[in-house]
């Protein structure tokens, strides 16, 4: 999805929201730096035939957040926010699980073997996917503002504009490997519920969980995965750095290990709107996108209301 002019306004708003959390003496150099960089990027964008016109929204964020880190002399300005997000996400998850426990997998005999019933597989995965997408509510980047106190983690009222769980299960029946492309810190706690469920149903499925290659906004990195509450995920899958610098998966920017996993995976599940913006043009039968629509640009592109949840098998155009 190609960036629109509105995306620059969104970036400016992101930085303003973040600056409110900084000491007053840090604001002026930060604002001057951001205004200068945004003006330069926007000028490149509106200049005809410029290569920058073909960038996705997450790609135009790279230089802005690089300059933010340089100005603040801090490689990970959101580090404390991410640690807090993981802590709060854990407690929210525990509360949700107590209110909406995971449906049990029911065994049955098939060809003289004990297997899980198809109905119970669907019900359990439906629960896990819904739990996982609730984690995508956490986002300090693409929304006007975010706070855990005001966030809506209502499991029962999720509104999906696309819900391709049946083709997801169909693919899983023969898949041997899945690449799970992560999004935000805190969201990993919710992702773990889906990954543990996948391993319970498909124990031979090899799952790789790819996080960002460096700190940008509140996106998840290997450093964030050192949080004690993030450790259980390591028991169910391989966790690796994708090498990607932007808040969305760009194949060309990924390291060779991740590119190899992407090329060879039987299935790919990408979480979050940034990953959608970078991958929606890949009409790949292996690719599933799980995200919440958080901005007007993506809402218009998808022809869905802002706030809509999407579980999309990316073999077709959304507007069709």
Q: Is residue 59 part of a domain?
A: yes
Mean pLDDT confidence for 62-87 = 90
210-264: pLDDT as tens digits: 999 999 999 999 999 999 999 999 999 999 999 999 999 999 999 999 999 999 9
Higher pLDDT, 14 or 308: 308
Task: Assess if residue 319 is contained within a domain.
Answer: no
170 and 43, same domain (yes or no): no
318 occurs within a structural domain: no
Burial label, 261 (beta-carbon count in 10 A; 0-12, 13-18, 19+): buried
Q: Are 318 and 302 in contact (CB under 8 A)?
A: yes
Residue 200 forms part of a structural domain: yes
Q: Are 278 and 246 in contact (CB under 8 A)?
A: yes
User: Distance between CA 167 and CA 55 in Å, rounded?
Assistant: 30
DSSP 8-class letter at 221: B
In a shared domain, residues 61 and 94? no
What is the DSSP secondary-structure string of 266-316?
SEEEEESHHHHHHHTT---TTEEEEEE--SHHHHHHHTS-TT-EEEEETTS
Domain boundary among 72, 93, 109: 72
User: Tokens representing 173?
Assistant: 């029946």
**Same-domain check for residues 298 and 205:** yes
Nearest to 220 by CA among 68, 61, 81, 22: 81
- With helix as H, strand as E and coil as C, how does 83-108 read? HHHHHHHHHHHHHHHHHCCCCCCCEE
- Look at the chain and report how many structural domains it folds into: 2
DSSP state, residue 22: S
Cα-based torsion angle of the residue sequence 223, 229, 235, 239 in order, rounded to the nearest 10 degrees: -20
Q: Are residues 27 and 148 in the same domain?
A: no
Residue 251: inside a domain: yes
Are 125 and 33 in the same domain?
no
User: The domain that contains 154 carries what CATH number?
Assistant: 3.40.50.10880
Please indicate, yes or no, whether residues 161 and 87 belong to a single structural domain of this protein. Answer: yes
Q: Does the pLDDT of residue 27 top 70, yes or no?
A: no
Encode burial over 87-113: b for 16+ CB neighbours within 10 A, e otherwise: bbbbebbeebeeeeeebebeeeeeeee
Q: Does a structural domain hold residue 169?
A: yes
Over residues 266-318, the pLDDT tens digits come to: 999 999 999 999 999 988 999 999 999 999 999 999 999 999 999 999 876 54
Nearest to residue 201, comparing CAs of 165, 164, 242? 165
Q: What is the pLDDT of residues 267-276, one digit of tens each?
A: 999 999 999 9
Distance CA 34, CA 72 (A): 12
**Residues 68, 90 within the same domain:** no
Residue that wins the pLDDT comparison between 8 and 87 = 87
Same structural domain, 261 and 294: yes
Q: Which residue has the tokens 């998840």?
A: 220
**Domain match, 174 and 287 both:** yes
Whether 87 and 46 map to the same domain: the answer is no
Structural domain harbouring 12: 5-72
Both 173 and 296 in a single domain? yes
Confidence of residue 206 (pLDDT cuts 50, 70, 90): very high
Looking at the structure, do residues 170 and 50 belong to the same domain, yes or no?
no
Question: And the tokens for 129?
Answer: 């996917």
pTM value?
0.92
Alpha helices (runs of H) in the chain, residue ranges in sequence order: 5-19, 27-46, 57-72, 79-99, 118-134, 165-172, 187-201, 256-264, 273-279, 296-302
């Amino acid at each position: 999805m190609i960036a629109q002019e509105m995306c620059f306004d969104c970036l400016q708003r992101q930085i303003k929201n973040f600056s409110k959390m900084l000491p007053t003496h840090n604001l002026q150099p930060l604002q001057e730096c951001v205004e200068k960089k945004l003006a330069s990027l926007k000028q490149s964008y509106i200049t005809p035939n410029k290569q920058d016109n073909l960038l996705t929204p997450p790609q135009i964020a790279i230089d802005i957040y690089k300059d933010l880190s340089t100005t603040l002399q801090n490689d990970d300005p959101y580090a404390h926010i991410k640690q807090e997000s993981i802590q709060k996400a854990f407690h929210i998850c525990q509360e949700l699980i107590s209110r909406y426990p995971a449906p049990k997998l029911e065994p049955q005999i098939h060809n003289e073997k004990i297997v899980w019933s198809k109905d119970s597989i669907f019900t359990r995965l439906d629960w896990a996917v819904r739990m996982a997408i609730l984690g995508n509510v956490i986002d300090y980047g693409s929304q006007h503002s975010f706070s855990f106190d005001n966030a809506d983690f209502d499991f029962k009222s999720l509104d999906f504009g696309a819900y391709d769980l049946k083709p997801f299960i169909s693919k899983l029946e023969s898949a041997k490997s899945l690449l799970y492309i992560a999004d935000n810190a805190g969201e990993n706690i919710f992702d773990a519920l889906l990954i543990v469920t996948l391993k319970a149903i498909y124990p031979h499925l090899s799952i790789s969980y790819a996080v960002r290659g460096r700190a940008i906004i509140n996106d998840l990195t290997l450093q964030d995965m050192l949080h004690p509450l993030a450790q259980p995920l390591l028991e169910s899958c391989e966790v690796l750095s994708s090498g990607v610098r932007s808040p969305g998966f760009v194949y060309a920017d990924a390291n060779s290990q991740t590119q190899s996993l992407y090329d060879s995976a039987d299935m790919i599940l990408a979480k979050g709107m940034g990953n959608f913006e970078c991958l929606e043009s890949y009409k790949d039968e292996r690719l599933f996108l799980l995200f919440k629509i958080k901005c007007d640009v993506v809402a218009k592109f998808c022809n869905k209301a802002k706030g809509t949840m999407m579980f999309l098998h990316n073999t077709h155009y959304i507007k069709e």
